[in-house]
A and B are shown apart, each in its own frame.
Chain A
């Protein structure tokens, strides 16, 4: 017995020893258990639904060292399915976390394990890739440490105390509702941001002509971002104090490395520091040659590693993250003591921006760069709106007009670093410390993508095709993909590639930096390239959540990958396509003293099913319903042919125009008619509609809705060849309500409350 016992003990200890050594010499498995659960939070004055993981927002920071194996167990305790994507991480395709592309969604109540070796280092993050879950809490830091024995280990940088930082935004609105409102061109966000750019505001700013030109070119109010947020969060808080790092108190002269990830769903952030310059040492997890700047903008889903220094004892220096629209910010005070503030960024000069858009936009909706070859964020058209660079007001700088003229000739009008004292980071300043060239012998596949979209209907695409209209792009394993991207849309887009880092070709040649997100501004042309050496279906998309959901995605299929989690890949891809072109509903009704006036619409990227009604309170006023099913044509979607059905009932009397201007007569009190027609958006955003009914009657009409008179006042009109006309004026109370008065040729003057959804 004794002997047996001893031998057992020995055996046990040997096994233990083996296990330990295995951990030491081979890969160490680092396991995290993530419990995903619904929760209620109060970030901005109201209790709202959010998703917490392990009881916290943001999700916990996951830390690994290069060489580890990650084992992440997701326990889905939600009532809906979920997924987790490891942003910027190299891994087998089946672990990439895109539902219907690399796995099936994680069903409610189930557990799912992601397991992959950590074969790189750097600052990354992770987030849900299901629906809009990323907006309400499902984002977190994902840090992979460099081993000290690594030959790229940089003394003085890689050994600094580090703090993971994840930026995000919070809105009290349900993100599904935000998505719907964006598609319906609801301008409530602009009202909240004070960025309506109405005619009254234009006149006050002396920019009436600018506004007029803007509408002539069929543009709505311009902005740098589309969603209004109630709070900005850094690691889940609006204001944080950072007194110690790794248990050590911060003192004068200390340097801190901040690993900053932008986990916001749709916000770019300006990063600035009250304690002096910022040294950028890495981007998207890849080292760059240190570069000193005064500020940088971090695109949605980008990461930057930055080093800041604490100049003095007894002061906490503000590190401020401000949204690109400058309405909101969050701060961390680095160091213990009295708080040294940094001045907030001054408000944007929207009318200057509008002027700039007018100059760039051709009548057909294409952008015109006027011969400036724009790339790599060097020329930021938005600088015309930045008071800190281009001055508070243009009129004030009359005495230096001479200089401005010369600058314009030199086409430096938009180069922020040339115009002011402030140094802003751009992609030309990023250089890899080592050569990043790709193997010379590999075959190269060249591609050109044009980013397209239109603001009016919030459709975003590549080459004017949304994901549901395209197949996967076949790529052979071992090929180099060199993609030239041109942004012909009015918004900037952070384009993200799953599974690979790409080189952004800049003037550093073989030391062109490696990234996995590239921000591309309107009118810019940039080239990226990467070696497709990992098989699988890899997503390439705009990381603005609401652009992604609108279909601004492509898939690279590297070889014919057999994904064990996706037995039926074709069917799964159909599901993915369907999810990226969901239809959205919009409805409104005016409860007025003279009747009910309203419409309801169900739309997706291309199709529109809409019905309008005018219901009087008596048969004399009549009842009228018009229904149209149409398809939007063209990039700008100004043209929509449709089939229609009209029904009308009224007792003649009050208004007896039974003849239209073409002399066609229609005497029936009760009328049902089928029609064919089209709608076209004219300059000044006036909709021209032409219809022919089955009985030969022709109707032409002109209408315009939502003319922004002042911040909250809107006007509209309609006139048609049946000699019907209408004019209205409404005052917006909140996102769902307005007081409206209108005069209608059928129903007379009315005042009422308009409810819209």
Chain B
């Protein structure tokens, strides 16, 4: 027993001494710019970059310059900068993920000069909308004739979807804002560019459409917004049916709402119920796919 404890002691001493004497071998240093604001940023950047015995990072919050010291055999500046970007900080090599940047404390929300999109605070949802519009723009190059018909109503539908998404999240404030945007989109429709079919429907529903949209914008209570949204969706459905869509629109039905059920339109086949939100998010079914 005695010898065993002695052996153990020797092992412990050996292990601890390895720790004490170790340092970065094959040392190389490099200075690079890392975007950030404050002392808090400094802590995050350095913590993300450091790896014991492999890399150390020292960042200066005034010059935004960082000194990377690393073991040339074990890592590369790219690996260090990637880790730092994944903690939220841009460099000339890497852009941080949008959601990671968005989660940084307010004081750390530095200006993202390197990011090509001007709005640096875009959430992922906004990104998606932009993306869709972008696709749409691309398409318009190839299918010009069809596209001219689509564009004016497309904006209306897109704004409608934004209202719906807000209701899915039971977010009355956003729903109100998005309804205001929908109002604008409705006013912006140039009737001369509509096809005969579209024009007929448009004339029939425009009055109700505008009135209901205004109501949603004014209401502060999500329950009332939803009631109006049910009416709004009926008209939108008629509109969607006659207008040409590039991507399919799904006409969905919730059998429970107000005892008699209600419908809505969605760009996704997956059901996300705007009448109940998270209470019964996937209650409902696709009634019809409009193409």
Residues in chain A within 8 A of chain B (CB atoms): 155-156, 253, 255, 274, 276-277, 289-292, 309, 311-315, 338-344, 400, 403, 406-407, 410, 412, 415, 417-419, 421, 423, 428-429, 507, 593, 751
What string of 1s and 0s marks CB contacts (under 8 Å) between B244-286 and chain A? 0001100000000000000000011111100000111111001
Q: Are A423 and B268 in contact (CB under 8 A)?
A: yes
Set of chain A residues within 8 Å of B128, measured between Cβ atoms: 276-277
Interface residue? B95 (CB, 8 A)? yes
In the assembled complex, the Cα of A292 lies from the Cα of B250 at a distance in Å of 13
Alpha-carbon distance A274/B94, docked complex (angstroms): 12
A341 touches B82 (CB 8 A): yes
In this assembly, does B185 line the interface, its C-beta being within 8 Å of a C-beta of chain A?
A: no
CB <8 Å contact, A277 and B131: yes
Partner pick for B114 among A276, A289, A338, A419, CB 8 A cutoff: A338
Are B99 and A343 neighbours in the complex by a CB distance under 8 Å? yes
B97 in complex: contacting residue of A343, A406, A428, A751, CB < 8 Å: A343
Distance between Cα atoms of A400 and B134 in the complex (Å): 36
In the bound complex, do residue B97 and residue A312 qualify as a contact, i.e. CB atoms below 8 Å apart?
no
Q: Known: A338-B94, A339-B95, A344-B86. Is A418-B131 also a contact (CB below 8 A)?
A: no
Given A311-B116, A412-B282, A415-B282, output 15 extra A-B contacts at Cβ < 8 Å. Answer: A276-B131, A277-B131, A292-B247, A315-B95, A315-B116, A339-B82, A341-B97, A343-B100, A403-B278, A407-B278, A412-B281, A421-B124, A423-B268, A423-B270, A593-B4
**Chain A binder among B135-143, B190-198, B222-230:** B135-143
Q: A309: which B residues are within 8 A, CB to CB?
A: 131, 134-135, 138
For A156, the chain B residues whose CB sits under 8 A away are: 139, 142
Q: What would be 24 A-B contacts, judged by CB atoms less than 8 Å apart?
A: A292-B247, A292-B268, A309-B138, A311-B116, A311-B131, A315-B116, A338-B92, A339-B93, A339-B94, A340-B95, A341-B94, A341-B96, A343-B99, A400-B278, A410-B280, A410-B282, A412-B280, A417-B270, A418-B271, A423-B268, A429-B269, A429-B270, A593-B4, A751-B4
| Min CB gap A514→B, angstroms | 18
Residue of B nearest to A279 (CB): B135
Q: Closest CB of chain A to B159's CB: distance in Å?
A: 19
Residues of A within 8 A of B117 (CB): 311-312
- Asked whether B40 is an interface residue with its Cβ less than 8 Å from the other chain, the reply is no
**What are the nearest 9 A-B pairs in CB distance?**
A343-B97, A418-B282, A276-B131, A312-B116, A418-B281, A340-B95, A417-B270, A403-B278, A339-B94
Alpha-carbon distance A311/B116, docked complex (angstroms): 9
**Chain B 74-109 against A: per-residue CB contact (8 Å), 1 yes, 0 no?**
000000001001100000111111011000000000
| B57, chain A: closest CB distance, angstroms | 17
CB distance from A407 to the nearest CB of B (A): 7
A291 CA / B97 CA spacing, docked (Å): 24
With A410-B280, A419-B281 known as contacts, the answer to whether A338 contacts B95 (CB < 8 A) is yes
* A421, B116: Cα distance in complex, Å: 25
Q: Which B-chain residue is minimally distant from A388 (CB atoms)?
A: B99
How far, in angstroms, from A418 to B132 measured CA to CA in the complex? 22
- B125 at interface by CB-CB < 8 Å: yes
Q: How far is the CA of A337 from the CA of B240 in the complex (A)?
A: 40
Shortest beta-carbon distance from A726 to chain B in Å: 19
Chain A residues with CB under 8 A of B272: 417-418
Determine which of B82, B125, B248, B279 lies in contact with A403 in the assembled complex, contact meaning CB atoms within 8 Å. B279
Chain A contacts for B247, CB-based, 8 A: 290, 292
B86 touches A313 (CB 8 A): no
A312 to B98, CA, bound (A): 15
The residue on A at minimum CB distance from B125 is A421
Task: Find out whether the CB atom of A341 lies under 8 angstroms from the CB atom of B86.
Answer: yes
Structural contact, A314 and B86, CB atoms closer than 8 A: no
B211 CB–A CB distance under 8 Å: no
B127 and A276 form a contact (CB under 8 A)? yes
Decide: A314 near B116, CB < 8 A? Known: A253-B134, A276-B127, A415-B282.
yes
Q: Name B116's contact: one of A292, A313, A418, A507 (CB within 8 Å).
A: A313
Chain B residues near A338 (CB-CB < 8 A)? 92-95, 114
Instruction: Pick the most buried of A253, A341, A400: most chain B CB atoms within 10 A of its CB.
Output: A341
Closest chain-B Cβ to A356's Cβ sits at a distance in Å of 19
Chain B nearest CB from A55 CB (Å) reads 27
B residues in contact with A400, CB < 8 Å: 278
Provide the residues of chain B in CB contact with A428, threshold 8 Å.
269
Cβ of A341 and Cβ of B85 under 8 Å apart? Answer: yes
CB <8 Å contact, B138 and A253: yes
Contacts of B269 in A (CB 8 A): 291, 428-429
Kindly state the separation between the CA atoms of A255 and B272 in the bound complex, as whole angstroms: 29
Query: From residue B206, how far is it (CB to closest CB) to chain A in Å?
Result: 30
Report if A406-B280 is in contact (Cβ < 8 Å); known contacts: A156-B139, A156-B142, A340-B95: yes
Chain B residues lying within 8 Å of A419, measured Cβ to Cβ, are 281
* Chain B stretch 135-179: residues in CB contact (< 8 A) with chain A: 135, 137-139, 142
> A275 — nearest CB in chain B belongs to which residue?
B131
Inter-chain contacts of B4 with A (CB < 8 A) = 593, 751
Hey, which chain A residues are within 8 Å of B93, CB to CB? Answer: 338-339
Determine how close the nearest CB of chain B comes to the CB of A512; give it in whole angstroms: 14
CB distance from A277 to the nearest CB of B (A): 6
Tell me which residues across on chain B come within 8 A of A276, comparing CB atoms: 127-128, 131
Residue of A nearest to B96 (CB): A341
Residue picked from A274, A309, A343, most chain B C-beta under 10 Å? A343
Which residue of chain A lies nearest to B127 when distances are taken between CB atoms in the complex? A276
Smallest Cβ-Cβ distance to B137: which chain A residue: A253
Question: What is the bound-complex CA distance between A156 and B134, given in angstroms?
Answer: 15
With both chains docked as a complex, state the minimum distance between the C-beta of A338 and any C-beta of chain B, in angstroms.
6
> Given the complex, which residues of A lie within 8 Å of B86, measured CB to CB?
341, 343-344
Q: What A residues does B280 contact at CB under 8 A?
A: 406, 410, 412
Known: A253-B134, A407-B281, A421-B124. A342 touches B268 (CB 8 A): no
Rounded to whole Å, the gap between the CB of B230 and the closest CB of chain A is 21
Q: How far is the CA of A117 from the CA of B120 in the complex (A)?
A: 53
B82 and chain A: residue at smallest CB distance: A341
Complex partner residue of A341 from B95, B142, B248, B286, CB under 8 angstroms: B95
How distant is the Cα of A276 from the Cα of B117 in the complex, in angstroms?
Answer: 13
Residues of A within 8 A of B281 (CB): 407, 412, 418-419
Bound-state CA distance A123–B213 (Å) is 47
In the assembled complex, which residues on chain A have CB atoms less than 8 Å from the CB atom of B130? 311
Give every chain B residue within 8 A of A292 (Cβ-Cβ): 247, 267-268
What separation, in Å, do the CA atoms of A339 and B81 have in the docked complex?
Answer: 11
Tell me which residues across on chain A come within 8 A of B131, comparing CB atoms.
276-277, 309, 311
CA distance A339 to B78 in the complex (A): 11
Chain B residues closer than 8 Å to A593, beta-carbon distance: 4
Q: Which residues of A contact B82 (CB under 8 A)?
A: 339, 341
CB nearest to B281 among chain A residues:
A418
Q: How far is the CB of A342 from chain B (nearest CB, A)?
A: 5
The docked-state distance in angstroms from the alpha carbon of A321 to that of B250 is 30
The residues of A that contact B134 with a CB separation of less than 8 Å are 253, 309, 311
B248: chain A residues within 8 A (beta carbon): 289
Check if A255 sits within 8 Å of B138, measured CB to CB. Answer: yes
Q: Which of B125, B139, B270, B283 contacts A410 (CB 8 A)?
A: B283
Q: Which of B2-51 contact A (CB under 8 A)?
A: 4
In the complex, residue of chain A having the shortest beta-carbon distance to the beta carbon of B94? A339
**In whole angstroms, how far apart are the Cα atoms of A417 and B96 in the complex?**
26
Complex CA gap A315/B117 in Å reads 11
Chain A residues within 8 Å of B279, by CB: 403, 406-407
A493 and B256 CA atoms in complex are apart in Å by 37
B88 to chain A, nearest CB (A): 9
Residues of B within 8 A of A312 (CB): 116-117
Residues of A within 8 A of B114 (CB): 338
Complexed CA–CA distance, A442 and B283 (Å):
38
CA distance A400 to B278 in the complex (A): 10
Measured between beta carbons, the chain B residues less than 8 angstroms from A412 are: 280-282
CB-based nearest B residue for A307:
B135
> Which residues of A are found within 8 Å of B124, using beta-carbon distances?
421
Which A residue's beta carbon lies closest to that of B273? A418
What CA separation (Å) do A751 and B92 show in the bound complex?
Answer: 56
A257 to B99, CA, bound (A): 26
Q: How many angstroms between the C-alpha atoms of A505 and B4 in the bound complex?
A: 66
